[in-house]
Amino acid sequence: MNEKYKSLVIIALLFIIACFGPTISGYNNILNQNKITNIVNNTISNSYVNAYWKFDECSGNITVDSSGHNFNGSIFGASWINGQSGCALNYNGYNNYVLLDSYSEYLGFNKTDDLIFSLWFNSTDDGLIYSSTASWGYNPELRIELLTDGRLLFKIFTLVCGISLYSINTYNDGQWHYAEFYFNGITANPTISLYVDNVFDSSISDWLCEISNDDFAKTKIGKHAYNSSNCFNGFIDEFKIVKYPMGNLQEPPSIYGPIKGQPTKQYNYSFITYDPESDDIWLFIDWNDSEVEDWIGPYKSGEEVVVGHIWKEENNYKVTARSKDIWHQSQKSQPYEVMIIDEPPNPPIITGPKIGVPGKIYNYTLVTTDPEGDNIFYEIKWGDNITDFIGPYKSGISAIAGHNWTNKGTYVMKTRARDSFGANSTWSKYNIKIPRNYIKSLNLFDYFIKNIQNLFKIFLLR
């Protein structure tokens, strides 16, 4: 390819990027609506600290990487001052920087990684805080920058894609500020979130093309890694990079609790999530009845979280839950099926007299059990257009009801049990005979037998 043709291709590419880049790359700053607005008790495992320059040497031209990876930086021009913690480096805006080129591949990242960039800074001016590029200066390039208007910028981009996050607030006020940039790249549309002084500032989610850590070849703190421009004017302290290779995949919660219950009654369920990095987690619970628990927390990894719920109607419900940490949320858990139904009591067992006389009160024993152990009421139809209601009684405890029939006949006594939620059993039946003269006939027979015996005694005496 001749040089003239090369130049034409490059010009054409640059024109396309200039015209269409913002639309393709997603530079437009759309806030993520599912953000966590505060970080609480978050603990980062030391095994994921990729680099950590504390700047506590306080003298010399080397700053030591405290992560154990020995990504030690060479200091050019920047001077030592008292920092936010121990010492810090003062950059005067004129070619002061820390050189980290030799470690660029290791400090770089893949699109699917999750990262945290955190640092203390203090400035009344502007400039590049951190810059990492390819050997030719872009494709890809990462920059953390304090802009002239005081906003912070986190930008990762290539020739064909990129994401830019601008802070909402301004921070070039001459005060120390603690900035944390979270890059969650495990999804097709990575999310970048910014917290300043432990308070949420802004967030963006958008598409990003593939980026590989071995594409990075130049890295500097304090100015542009390739062209030595945009030198920072201010102080930098405690710069840390945390990296989770291939992303911090979040696990869905496990659910434990009753699988059967009744309407209007509260049941407690346990939710347990083990976060891969022991981060604090939040829970989203869908009870499958149009009610949800909307990101409650935070909770410790592995902590049993007990949440109660009341279903108002009978149905089969499928409870699901998600967990999320400061990075992103898990998939839905497997549905946990709960049957909400009010099972009626068993039909009552009736015992008592099956024959009697009009006008005399006879007692009958009723007993049954309720599957859920609810209290029981009895509805009794005596067969003579009289109905009684008695109760409540505990499940399995006998009840006694008395009744008298005024007329002769055969009566069908019917009774059913009703639990405290209104569920009725089927009817139980018990036949009772009330003859008119049964008892009187019995008395005459006794009288006859008694008198025959007396007559027989008289006959013998004769």
Q: Which helix (H) or strand (E) holds 107?
A: helix 104-107
Mean pLDDT score across all residues of the chain: 86
Residues 301 and 396 occupy one common structural domain: no
Residue 276 · residue 251 · CB < 8 Å: yes
**CA dist., res. 316 & res. 397, Å (int):** 31
Residue 267's beta-bridge partner residues?
Answer: 309
The band of 345, judged by pLDDT with boundaries at 50, 70 and 90, is very high
Are both 208 and 336 inside the same structural domain?
A: no
CATH number for position 398: 2.60.40.10
Pick the closest to residue 241 from 49, 414, 111 (CA basis).
49
**Stated pTM of the model:** 0.55
Residues 273 and 325 grouped into a single domain: yes
Closest CA to 307 of 277, 338, 270, 362: 270
Kindly state whether residues 194 and 294 are assigned to the same domain. Answer: no
Per-residue pLDDT tens over the stretch 166-200:
999 999 999 999 999 999 886 678 899 999 999 99
Strands 260-261 and 336-340: parallel
pLDDT for residue 386 is more than 80: yes
Which residue range(s) make up the domain with 164? 49-244
The secondary structure of residue 358, as a DSSP letter, is: T
Residue 197 region, left (φ>0) first, then alpha (ψ -120 to 50), else beta? left
Instruction: Identify whether residues 63 and 198 lie together within a single domain.
Output: yes
Counting Cβ atoms within 10 Å, is residue 418 exposed (0-12), middle (13-18) or buried (19+)?
Answer: buried
User: What's the pLDDT at 329?
Assistant: 80
What residues pair up with 81 in beta bridges, in sequence order? 88
Report the range of poorest mean pLDDT among 77-81, 89-93, 187-191, 438-442: 438-442
Give the Cα separation of 263 and 250 in Å (integer). 34
Mark whether 130 and 93 lie in a shared domain: yes
Total domain count for the chain? 3
- Six-digit token pair at 420? 């405290």
- What is the torsion angle, in degrees rounded to the nearest 10, for the CA atoms of residue 200, residue 201, residue 203 and residue 209? -110
Residues 233 and 365 in one domain: no
- Determine, yes or no, domain membership for 304: yes
d(C-alpha 163, C-alpha 75), whole Å: 30
Separation between Cα atoms, residue 70 and residue 253, nearest integer Å: 38
Strand partners, 92: 233
Q: At residue 144, does pLDDT exceed 70?
A: yes
Q: Is residue 30 part of a domain?
A: no
223-235 pLDDT, tens digit each: 999 988 899 999 9
CA distance 104 to 110: 12
* Mean pLDDT of all residues in 95-119: 93
Cα–Cα dist 322/293, whole Å: 10
Residues 113-139 have a mean pLDDT of: 93
